[in-house]
Amino acid sequence: MQNHTKGIIYAAVTAFLWGFLGIALKIAVREVDPVTVVWFRFVIAFIALAGWLAAKNSSSFKIITKPPILLILAALALSWNYMGYMLGVHYTTPSNANLIIQSGPLLLATAGFVLFKEPLHKKQILGFAVAIVGFVFFYRDQLSAFFEAKGSYNTGILFTFSSAAAWTTYAILQKKLVVKHPVNSLNLVLFGLPAIIYIPFLDLSPLLHLHWTWWLLLIFLGMNTFVAYTYLAKALQYIEANKVSIILIMNPMITFITMGILTRMDVSWVQHERFTPVTILGAFILLSGAFLVVRRPQKAVK
């Protein structure tokens, strides 16, 4: 399999996992406070990665003794990205938080052209334009709620925007770091340092009384973190940042479709969403634009 194809698959898996993340976080915060949920995600991800590396490649732990300054900055940015998004989901809804967080991949795409001098072809420019149009159609109702937001909803929006900016900072630094360092070594610090940072703010008492089903949910959140960020780093290693971005920006569709199914089931444990023909049209347009962006340009044949 070519590296280009690997990169697209890695980015697609990350987008798929993130599509369910907001819903799972919204449910988890009903029993556990946001800081503890974020801490648990980092701890589970670190334990899973450390256990795997201890069996496969113990030399990966060397980076912990003297991490590069860019890696420390990336870990700090990622730690706030998790918390900002968690609070955004808490104060708004999974779909709306997932809408706003997409400003992160859009900023990363811009950084790909400006900072990394990534080539941009005519079909890709058209793809970005089509994808943006589809994105607006897909989230038309959510955009209306965004501009009419008041009170705590606005607070959640601000938290999510700050989370998106932090994620962009992390992704830019990660794009630079994967050139010289193995992905798994970097993730040891990216998962471990935030877990330490949040220790003073923990409230572990609710964990002592959780039903085993809630523990499964927390473990899912941690493993989601482990797999998604491992694959994201590999995607950034194999393909351009702008292509990773356009694939990631499709993850709200997974969230919205899942929420639409839950709405039809009339569940009581998540807020219902609207699912209209315009939404379906927007999804089709967005997928079409993404295809144009990630499609590898054919070389001229003499």
Look-up of token digits 């971005």: 245
**Ranges 216-225, 249-258, 262-271: which has the least confidence:** 262-271
Helix (H) or strand (E) holding 22: helix 3-28
**pTM given for the model:** 0.78
Confidence of residue 223 (pLDDT cuts 50, 70, 90): very high
Q: 22-48: per-residue pLDDT in tens? A: 888 888 888 899 999 999 999 999 999
Residues 6+ apart with CB under 8 A from 239: 3, 4, 7, 8, 11, 294
From CA 87, how far away is CA 176, in angstroms rounded? 29
Confidence of residue 256 (pLDDT cuts 50, 70, 90): confident
Across the chain, what does the average pLDDT equal?
82
Which two tokens mark 40?
Answer: 């648990």
Taking residue 104's Cβ as centre, other Cβ atoms within 10 Å add up to: 25
- pLDDT at residue 179, rounded to an integer: 86
Which two tokens mark 199?
Answer: 């220790």
The better pLDDT of the pair 2, 231 is held by: 231
What is the pLDDT averaged over residues 134-163? 73
By CB neighbour count within 10 A (0-12 exposed, 13-18 middle, 19+ buried), where does 249 fall? buried
DSSP 300: P
Q: Could you give the angle at which helices 277-294 and 241-248 cross, rounded to 10 degrees?
A: 160
Confidence of residue 224 (pLDDT cuts 50, 70, 90): very high
From CA 31, how far away is CA 33, in angstroms rounded? 7
With a pLDDT cut of 90, the percent of the chain lying above it is 30
Whether residue 299 is predicted with pLDDT greater than 60 in this model: the reply is no
Task: Confirm if 91 and 180 have CB atoms less than 8 A apart.
Answer: no
Q: 228-247: per-residue pLDDT in tens? A: 988 988 898 888 877 887 78
The segment with the largest mean pLDDT, out of 77-81, 93-97, 101-105, 152-156, is 77-81
- pLDDT at residue 145, rounded to an integer: 59
- pLDDT at residue 89, rounded to an integer: 86
What is the pLDDT averaged over residues 68-94? 91
- pLDDT at residue 268, rounded to an integer: 60
What is the pLDDT averaged over residues 270-286? 69
